Amino acid sequence: MLARLGLPFDVASPQVDETPHPGEKPADLAMRLALAKAREVARRHPQAVVIGSDQVADLNGEPLGKPGTHERAVAQLQRMRGETVIFQTALAVVCQDIGFEQADLAAVRVVFRQLDDEEIEHYLRAEQPYDCAGSAKSEGLGIALLERIDNDDPTALVGLPLIRTCRMIRAAGVHVL
């Protein structure tokens, strides 16, 4: 996603525990993790403008994380069929050397179709989205699971809201255009 901006960048994996805190709301969890990821990498690269992000699927206030297994993915999609799920996509930009830190949240409202078990099984075997919040990848075959997507940033559901990213890195001194 970031390559679309034509800017040079490196990828660094943050060492952050992604376990939700007891009672933590999905939006709060996504924001906490995006900030923790950006801060952790910024400590190792203090001159860099660091982007951290995280996405949590919110089903009626309950966070749905990455399923990890086929069985958990089946259970998630069965629970989401015919439901509206809010994908909370948090973004944080940190540059330690200049004392810059901003964070924002893009809430993407997604309405799932009334899926039957055969459709769920076919999708999961084809896409294997076991590392994806809510078991659905809209950038691929997962788009067929959906009835509607409502948001203000078309890239937010894929995991990096580029409109917000551009605004925040410009504020940190990066010239996007």
Q: Which domain holds residue 107?
A: 12-171
What is the pTM assigned to this prediction?
Answer: 0.90
Q: Is 10 a catalytic residue?
A: no
pLDDT at 154: 86
**Residue 176, domain member (yes or no):** no
Q: Cα(79)–Cα(70) distance, rounded to whole angstroms? A: 14
Contact 138, 157 (CB under 8 A): yes
pLDDT of residue 10: 95
Pairing of strands 62-64, 84-95: unpaired
Residues of the chain with pLDDT under 70: none
Whether 34 is covered by a domain: the verdict is yes
Asked if residue 70 is part of any domain, the answer here is yes
∠ Cα 148 159 63 (to 5°): 75
Does 4 fall in a domain?
Answer: no
Q: What is the pLDDT of residue 122?
A: 97
Domain of 125, CATH number, reads 3.90.950.10
Summarize pLDDT for 52-95 with one digit per residue, the tens.
999 999 999 999 988 999 999 999 999 999 999 999 999 999 99
Considering its fold, how many domains does the chain have in total? 1
How far apart (Å, rounded) are the C-alpha atoms in residues 161 and 167?
Answer: 10
Residue 128 belongs to a domain: yes
Alpha helices by DSSP H, listed for 5-161, are 26-44, 70-80, 117-127
* Phi, psi (degrees; rounded to nearest 5) at 166: -60, -45
Residue 1 lies in a domain: no
Q: Is residue 5 part of a domain?
A: no
| 83 within some domain | yes
Separation of alpha carbons 127 and 141, rounded Å: 7
Please tell me which residue in 54, 58, 104, 153 is annotated as part of the active site.
54
Nearest Cα to 33, choosing from 88, 100, 84?
Answer: 88
